[in-house]
């Protein structure tokens, strides 16, 4: 499964956020057989369509899509030179498919800041610089080998040329993704600055209400996504049960924070999207479920997510869009209204497709 690595300076609120994420853990509830590493949190992606499907099909349970977060401790200034957790830290980020930077915005005097003052843009700069310096080392180490190989095998010349460009932009302090380099040519180098990023700004209520401040932060990280949340508040929210009293308390806490939904929900959704993933839906009396596919996946590839045999023996997919299904009120009504399509092996899945696969066994 694809994972998002959580990084940030000490005291930014990473552990607090991670604890909130793992309390929301859907795996424990729905996949009791799964073994989970202690630093991995598997979070359900909230999807309001699933309860509706469950109602239409009388499903016994709901299984949302999930996104995995990994808590990567230990980035400090100098990490690229082996300070702090140094190399262990870098290899953990290398294994992640995207990076989530947690940045401190809350000012709480009782929580010290490594640099003595709360300055989000400077903190982002510190982390980004470490990622870039680590990449520069990687590229400089690889260049002599790439040069030799490209002399022997001319087809490798584009790789070598792109690595040279990478050394140049990294040396100027720009990441390879930002610089718009050809990431496919650089893939074998596993560069950190090639990864998609998203940013969590850890705020208290004051800052959550400060639209000017939020717009400034959005500008700093654009085109990456910015999520504003109160990690401490989210951790408290995540501890609440789902009895009536808890529901009421939850509503009050969200109102106090001035938000409509928990920040963790937004984080799960944006994280999922940042990873380049989308879902399709299946429904029946047993369960209503969202399945994870890459954007652009074809019908047989989507079938393969349920079972490899579904992909091998794929015949066709019976598909109705979620909206058409809800409007018709039942699968039979949707069929009668001509809203259920038969799609073949070249069909590219659309978000919100409700699917039943036909396959040979």
Binding residues for ATP: 11-16
Q: Which C-beta is closer to ligand GDP: that of 12 or that of 297?
A: 12
Out of 24, 80, 96, 202, point to the residue binding ligand GDP (CB under 6 A). Answer: 202
Instruction: Give the nearest distance from C-beta 104 to ligand GDP in angstroms.
Output: 8
Out of 113, 190, 214, 232, point to the residue binding ligand GDP (CB under 6 A). Answer: 232
Q: Which residues are annotated as a binding site?
A: 11-16
Instruction: Give the nearest distance from C-beta 248 to ligand GDP in angstroms.
Output: 23
Segment near ligand GDP (CB under 6 A); pick from 6-14, 61-69, 113-121, 236-244: 6-14
Determine, following the binding rule CB under 6 A, whether residue 8 of this chain makes contact with ligand GDP: yes
Determine, following the binding rule CB under 6 A, whether residue 92 of this chain makes contact with ligand GDP: no
Determine, following the binding rule CB under 6 A, whether residue 103 of this chain makes contact with ligand GDP: no
56, 291, 327 from 332: Cα distances, Å = 11, 23, 12
The set of residues, in sequence order, having a beta carbon less than 8 Å from that of 191 and lying 6+ positions away, is 135, 138, 139, 166, 176
Determine, following the binding rule CB under 6 A, whether residue 39 of this chain makes contact with ligand GDP: no
Out of 56, 217, 231, 268, point to the residue binding ligand GDP (CB under 6 A). Answer: 231
**Binding track over 206-225 against ligand GDP, x by CB under 6 A:** --------------------
Instruction: Give the nearest distance from C-beta 45 to ligand GDP in angstroms.
Output: 23
The set of residues, in sequence order, having a beta carbon less than 8 Å from that of 94 and lying 6+ positions away, is 190, 192
- How far is Cα 224 from Cα 222, in angstroms, rounded to an integer? 5
- Count other Cβ atoms within 10 Å, centred on residue 236: 15
- Output the six-digit token pair for 197: 């990023």
Out of 12, 26, 118, 192, point to the residue binding ligand GDP (CB under 6 A). Answer: 12
- How far is Cα 117 from Cα 305, in angstroms, rounded to an integer? 48
The three-class DSSP label of residue 259 is coil
Determine, following the binding rule CB under 6 A, whether residue 262 of this chain makes contact with ligand GDP: no
Out of 119, 204, 273, 343, point to the residue binding ligand GDP (CB under 6 A). Answer: 204
Residue 348 DSSP class: B
Q: Which C-beta is closer to ligand GDP: that of 6 or that of 320?
A: 6
E strand spans, the chain: 3-7, 40-44, 61-63, 66-71, 98-104, 196-202, 225-229, 277-283, 287-294, 314-321, 341-343, 353-359
205, 267, 306, 346 from 360: Cα distances, Å = 56, 39, 14, 17
Instruction: Give the nearest distance from C-beta 131 to ligand GDP in angstroms.
Output: 17
> Which residues does residue 5 pair with via DSSP β-bridges, in sequence order?
70, 99
Segment near ligand GDP (CB under 6 A); pick from 14-22, 180-188, 278-286, 341-349: 14-22
Instruction: Give the nearest distance from C-beta 165 to ligand GDP in angstroms.
Output: 34
The set of residues, in sequence order, having a beta carbon less than 8 Å from that of 356 and lying 6+ positions away, is 282, 317, 318
The site for ligand GDP (CB under 6 A) is made up of 8, 10-16, 106, 108, 111, 202, 204, 230-232
């Amino acid at each position: 499964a694809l994972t998002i690595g959580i990084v940030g300076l000490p005291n930014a609120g990473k552990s607090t956020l991670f604890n909130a994420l793992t309390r929301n853990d859907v795996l424990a509830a729905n996949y009791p057989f799964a073994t989970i590493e202690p630093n991995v949190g598997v979070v359900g992606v909230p999807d309001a369509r699933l309860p509706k499907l469950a109602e239409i099909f009388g499903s016994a349970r709901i299984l949302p899509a999930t996104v995995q977060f990994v808590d990567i401790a230990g980035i400090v200034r100098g990490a690229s030179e082996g300070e702090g957790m140094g190399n262990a830290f870098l290899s953990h980020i290398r294994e992640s498919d995207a990076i989530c930077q947690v940045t401190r915005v809350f000012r709480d005097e009782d929580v010290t800041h490594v640099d003595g003052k709360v300055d989000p843009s400077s903190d982002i700069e510190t982390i980004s610089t470490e990622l870039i310096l680590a990449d520069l080392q990687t590229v400089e180490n690889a260049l002599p080998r790439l040069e030799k190989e490209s002399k022997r095998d001319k087809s490798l010349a584009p790789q070598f040329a792109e690595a040279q460009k990478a050394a140049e932009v990294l040396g100027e302090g720009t990441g390879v993704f930002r610089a718009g380099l050809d990431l496919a040519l650089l893939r074998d180098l596993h560069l950190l600055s090639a990864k998609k990023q998203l940013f969590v700004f850890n705020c208290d209520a004051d800052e959550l209400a400060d639209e000017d401040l939020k717009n400034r932060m959005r500008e700093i990280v654009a085109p990456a996504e910015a999520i504003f949340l109160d990690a401490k508040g989210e951790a408290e929210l995540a501890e609440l049960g789902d009895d009536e009293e808890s529901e009421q308390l939850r509503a009050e806490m969200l109102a106090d924070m001035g938000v409509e939904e928990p920040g963790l929900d937004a984080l799960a959704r944006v994280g999922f999207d940042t990873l380049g993933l989308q879902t399709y839906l299946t429904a029946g009396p047993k369960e209503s479920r969202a399945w994870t596919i890459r954007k652009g996946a074809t019908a047989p590839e989507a079938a393969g997510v349920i079972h490899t045999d579904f992909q091998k023996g794929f015949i066709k997919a019976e598909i109705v869009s979620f909206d058409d299904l809800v409007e018709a009120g039942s699968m039979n009504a949707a069929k009668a209204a001509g809203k259920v399509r038969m799609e073949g092996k070249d069909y590219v899945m659309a978000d919100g497709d409700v699917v039943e696969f036909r396959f040979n066994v």
